[in-house]
Structure 1
């Protein structure tokens, strides 16, 4: 019985093969576009969802007027972090973040990779799954932590722990020991692309100058500074203290880059605001711009409607061949 039904079905379809082919292609394209639009939306909607407990994490930002337009910058003077740590009691913790890059040598192989300098409390701020070793490795300036992608790419057949990577710098080669491995951050993460992490003191050593003194004490230099503030009611007071105590010294150091004021931006939703409002110099990955999310959804809906209308029209055209039968 079922076999006969299938034969009748395929014979009927074959009689109207052009209409059937048009419907299949049209509906297939419409459904495919809808799936792509959903995946695109889901990717953006879950940006930074891998980070846990971000309610009390903030970034010290600044406003600056350039060509009569106020612009937000996601960076702050390098000495500000230490000043806040010592003098602003409402701030519970401070962490500096400095992405960079460099050439590395492993045995006889030379490669270029992202290289990120952070304070030793970096893993207390942000969620990284360390699979081998632990976060205490950051306390050792001669150690680095590498992502699983680095392991798969450069250590496909062996254990990288304890191996030495040589970093080529303007001040000569520096050797680092692999002391930890962490899982790669997802693409929809502010820290996507972080592959190698080490103590920020190494960055200061690489940029030290006898003429300019200690690099980390120079208010002309910039860094991304994160703070943890458990009492949200103190945010306004912290911003006032930053402006009162550290705005003038920054503007005296950089007369070509004067700031209007500091402000604390919550980490939660930061990637969306960076894509929408344009935050300069934040050195983090932003989410997708709003048009890149909404336009595919609108296009998918329109294509789906066209496919439905087309299916209705072709169905009516096929039915018109059987008007006598329908009339009876």
Structure 2
């Protein structure tokens, strides 16, 4: 029986090689996109799950009182980590996590790396596999754990246990540390990112931090407990420490504590103030967009398959009639056709896996914060997904055609008065959905291209191009470095600063006599505003003549700040910060986008800092010479600062680069979706028209004999399809414009508003493509000799 089924299947597929090929390629592309979407989703939802104690791990964080609002932060007062286990009996383990950039040396090799200062329970709580040595050896203050990649960089081998590295400290003698163990460096699916591990005691010692200083914060405090109710009970038990912290940290007073699971941490990290754990999972839009792509393309391919299968059933009507006449049941026919569909979908799945070998790495390379790869051996969930996709696709694409063709009565079939073609209501509905999806894909792609152009050309309120940043360890280094480089003709302007737009700022509560609110503060030096190109609208900038006065109480504000406090004449207005510091507005600048286009423009204060607090050089250069200037700054660094590798950054790349990459990659994805959708729809439309022409060959011949023109015949055949395309275009355009705006709003605060233009060009494009894809076949048939058409069987 199976042998006969297999023969019938192969014979059926070979009879329609072109249409089978089209369906296999279409389904293969769709399944490849589904595989990418699954890997993308799996990457996001399995964040941090490599830890054996994942379900028992929690992060304790602080809430800060800001003008009466209890704002959640990711940080926590540093001394809390030393008392938390004694306060909450259900806690089995606890560890603080402080992440700091350090410079390490091995002979003449100098590297910047990230060191995690942790408590003694850390390696027992988290799973960071140790490859060599003793995982607990870091409890010795002269011992450090290093990652396998760091070991290779320093020593040229992974097993570096017993080797010595040098920790470079500013203003202090360097410290020699012995490698106690080598661990596997955390991958991109880990919230905690670091390359070295040291005992928390070393943090106190190296950075002169007092252990009982409640004004100091640490990046994270993690606990392990088998009691899930600790999320609700722990904050109440720790509440008394909020008052202790608030007493000594009046500018950031704690109002309480809160606890979150590791699952929540992965998604919340990007939205929490003060978070410095190293990584977070994908943005919700980054998870949603590939899923939308995969579903749309799979639906397109399935609709294509269904329409083709229904239209092609004419060729198998006699087979169905004979099989029913000799005793074949409808169930057997359904199984036969579903089996054929399953074979075809299996071939499509194999082709989809081949496509994925190219598509998955290309997709992974688009995003620096993720690393996905196709592996069946080590990913059983992937196998389950593929099997489920195979069955679902076979049923979705071929279920209805199998039931549809098996229901015909053998008498009607064998009499020859039964015809099934592309003119059925279902075929028209499916074709309409195909074209609607294609229009939506085109509109999404075009709208995001518009948005990319809009954001690239938007005035951010300062010079975004040709700005280089050089962070140094202290003001003396910064001043020395500036003195050397500012005479170079490549440097058009230079300034020292503490904060920088999109890089370093902080928030504080301020008030006036009748108003109060929270503002963002940027600590800067002289010439910073001129170097960045801020436009002063009223008053003045900071000047050397007024430097001493401005350092004490002068501030420059932005337009949003004046609007927030209702100042029509902002110059001379008085502000109080931290209940004691009185500030006077000396100037107002045009609004600028502090954090690019991700977040709304906020009230901003630019505050002049003392020279001893300025440790970053900002250089303005010709954008065309940015690369050469960076090379010059790096070479100069090695002459001025000999014990650390150079740190020279580009504002366009290191501050605005993420937004540009996100924009570019989203545009790429939607354009890819648009191309695939249009190609599949055009092929599907061509297939349906071809089959429709085959079923109407004699009709066309008769019409031509009776005098119908080629134009008349072409219009007659094209019109039903073009009407469907037109209706689908209007509906698809309206729906996609609406949802494109919603999707953009979930990613950016400032974006283009999709409108009529966003839909009109894609609609005209899909109409043209539809016309071209069917007209050639129709005109060729209309030109055919009617004698040949009347002989057609």
TM-score after normalising by structure 2: 0.36
Contact 2:62–2:72 (8 Å) recurs in 1: yes
Matches within 5 A, 1:62-81: 62-66=62-66, 69-81=69-81
Partner of 1:240: 236
Determine if the alignment matches structure 1 residue 225 to structure 2 residue 597: no
Instruction: Flag the structure with higher helix content.
Output: 2
Residues 116 and 258 from structure 1, CA distance in 2 versus in 1: closer, same or farther, beyond 3 angstroms?
same
Q: Give unpaired runs (5+ residues) of structure 1.
A: 209-213
Partner of 2:684: 312
- What secondary structure sits across from 2:60 in the alignment? strand
Residues 238 and 46 from structure 1, CA distance in 2 versus in 1: closer, same or farther, beyond 3 angstroms?
closer
- What secondary structure sits across from 2:117 in the alignment? strand
- What secondary structure sits across from 2:105 in the alignment? strand
Following the alignment from structure 1 to structure 2, what is the Cα–Cα distance between the partners of residues 182 and 165? 16
Matches within 5 A, 1:255-266: 255-266=250-261
Matches within 5 A, 1:282-321: 282-284=275-277, 285-306=279-300, 308=304, 309=434, 310=681, 311-320=683-692
Partner of 1:174: 175
| Aligned match for 2:272, one of 257, 279, 282 | 279
Residues 135 and 294 from structure 1, CA distance in 2 versus in 1: closer, same or farther, beyond 3 angstroms?
same
What is the aligned residue count?
310
Partner of 1:195: 195
- What secondary structure sits across from 1:135 in the alignment? coil
TM-score after normalising by structure 1: 0.82
- What secondary structure sits across from 2:55 in the alignment? coil
Matches within 5 A, 1:1-328: 30-66=30-66, 69-157=69-157, 159-170=159-170, 171-191=172-192, 193-208=193-208, 215-223=210-218, 224-233=220-229, 236-243=232-239, 245-275=240-270, 278-284=271-277, 285-306=279-300, 308=304, 309=434, 310=681, 311-320=683-692, 322-323=694-695, 324=697, 328=793
Residues 65 and 303 from structure 1, CA distance in 2 versus in 1: closer, same or farther, beyond 3 angstroms?
farther
Contact 1:166–1:175 (8 Å) recurs in 2: yes
Following the alignment from structure 1 to structure 2, what is the Cα–Cα distance between the partners of residues 152 and 197? 16
Following the alignment from structure 1 to structure 2, what is the Cα–Cα distance between the partners of residues 87 and 70? 23
Instruction: Tell me the CA shift for residue 137 of structure 1.
Output: 0.7
Query: What is the RMSD of the two structures over their aligned residues, measured on CA atoms?
Result: 3.2
Structure with greater contact order relative to length (CA < 8 Å, sep ≥ 6)? 1
Following the alignment from structure 1 to structure 2, what is the Cα–Cα distance between the partners of residues 142 and 190? 27
Instruction: Tell me the CA shift for residue 88 of structure 1.
Output: 4.2
Following the alignment from structure 1 to structure 2, what is the Cα–Cα distance between the partners of residues 296 and 69? 37
Instruction: Tell me the CA shift for residue 50 of structure 1.
Output: 0.5
Following the alignment from structure 1 to structure 2, what is the Cα–Cα distance between the partners of residues 33 and 233? 41
Following the alignment from structure 1 to structure 2, what is the Cα–Cα distance between the partners of residues 186 and 273? 19
- What secondary structure sits across from 1:287 in the alignment? coil
